[in-house]
Amino acid sequence: MNFVTIGGIGVVLLWLLWLAGRRRNQQDLSPNREVAADGELLVRLPPPALFGRCLSATDVEFVTTLQSRALLRFLLHERRRLALEWLRQTRREAGRLFRLHLGSVRHSPDLRPAAEAKLLLQVALFMVVYGILMGFVGLYGPFRTQGFVQSVHALAGVLSGLGGRIADSVVPGHLARVSQAARS
Amino acid sequence: MGLSGAIWLLNDLMLLGLICRARQGSYWGEYPYYFTYLTCVLASDLIRLLVRVAYARAYGQEYWISEFITAIIGFGVAWEVYDHVFSRFRGAKRMARSVLSILLIAIVMNAFVKLAGDPLNRLVPTTQDLLRNIRVAQVFLLVALLSLIVHYRLPMGRNVRYLLVGYGLYIGIHMVTLTLPSEFLTAEGGGDALAGLEYCVTLCIWCVGMWSYHPDPTPGFSLELDYERVSRQTTRAFGRLRDYLTDSWRA
């Protein structure tokens, strides 16, 4: 093990020690504050259509007709900020849900490592999608990102349709024989 | 007596102070593995001093043997943390057991893979390698325990918190110093003084945190919770959030 790896582990250890040391037990022992009540584990965010209206192409078209580069730049800058804030709001909601979950289950004797691992995977997937979108909006702006997401969705739709057609073309009797062979 | 000797003397006095306080305050039984570890360290220091004066030639061997024994007993400190923090949280304890089992399997498999590559040279590692490996295993153990403590925000008493911070700092720094070039460690008193200083910092932290007994905080209620339902709901909510992220851009 080289010095860099050992140094990295050391830094992680010190960071965790700092995190563990700065917490207050009073907060830790008041789960009533954080236990999920009925309906609290639901996603509370504005409807997605609202964001679509924020990114409406009509505004851009209108500003373009004014032929003011400064105004157009300002509009694009504001739309980028709006898109980033929208994404951050979604992440904050994810944080709220995750904290609520942890606050609820840490006292539970039935806690199952497999279920927790599955949830962590969901969180990781969410963070990956969030990171990709943040990166795209930061680099290319919200309008190109919108186009990119729509293309990806269209492509996914085509692939899904192809998959469905392949599945339909498989003779049901053959499928039954294969699954029977797999079982035996 | 040089600087190194003075540091070791101070360390031994602190160790003695901690052990005496635990006996006097009758809280030895609350942290048996930890105080056994402290007693072993103190005993090894005294034996080391005796060997240095009476059998100077055997000092090198005795030094590494005692280092090895105290490193092994050091696992007791991690066990103490595990026992105290997770005892009131059965679910989190089960989670910790799973994580630690996976970690142990990973460490053992890693050792086997290394042995398979070069069995003759690696079967008998140098004492310094062996010590470093033990410390690395302890660091991984502490990182896993700390991750779970931070993740589930498990409450810790003052004693356990200082115990953990002190030991974490010590093995973290010790592991790094074991990777330093051997010329530095064998320089005139350099390694000895450095090791003494590391331990001095740890003992100062322990003297602050372990000087008197502070019981672990106990949650004064038990919650009736349908874990399955909460877990299912959160997993579903995250799926919805992921869809929401992409659906917003399609609208």
What ipTM was estimated for this complex?
0.74
A169 CA: distance to closest CA in chain B (Å): 30
pLDDT reading at A102 higher than 80: yes
Q: Across the interface, which of A16, A42, A105 has its CB nearest the CB of B91?
A: A105
For every one of its 251 residues, what pLDDT tens digit does chain B have, with 9 covering 90 and above?
A: 677 788 888 999 999 999 999 998 888 899 999 999 999 999 998 898 888 888 888 888 888 888 888 888 888 888 888 889 888 888 888 888 888 888 888 877 877 777 676 666 655 556 667 777 787 888 888 898 899 888 888 888 889 999 998 988 888 787 777 666 655 555 555 566 777 788 899 999 999 999 999 888 876 555 567 888 888 888 888 888 888 888 888 76
Residue of B98, B110, B241 to mutate, testing the A interface (most A Cβ within 10 Å of its Cβ): B241
Q: Across the interface, which of B147, B240, B248 has its CB nearest the CB of A16?
A: B147
Nearest-Å Rg of the Cα atoms of chain A is: 24
- With tokens 């540091």, the residue in question is B7
Instruction: Note the CATH architecture for domain B3-225.
Output: Up-down Bundle (1.20)
pLDDT of amino acid A32: 47
B9 contact A CB<8A: no
B250 contact A CB<8A: yes
Please give the C-alpha separations between residue B6 and each of B12, B135, B172, B193, B204, in angstroms, as whole numbers: 10, 26, 23, 9, 15
CB contact under 8 A, A113 and B98: yes
pLDDT of amino acid A140: 92
pLDDT tens digit string along A29-70? 554 455 556 566 677 788 888 888 888 888 888 888 888 889
CA A100 to chain CA mean position, Å: 17
| One-letter amino acid for residue B196 of the chain | G
A129 CA: distance to closest CA in chain B (Å): 7
A131 CA: distance to closest CA in chain B (Å): 11
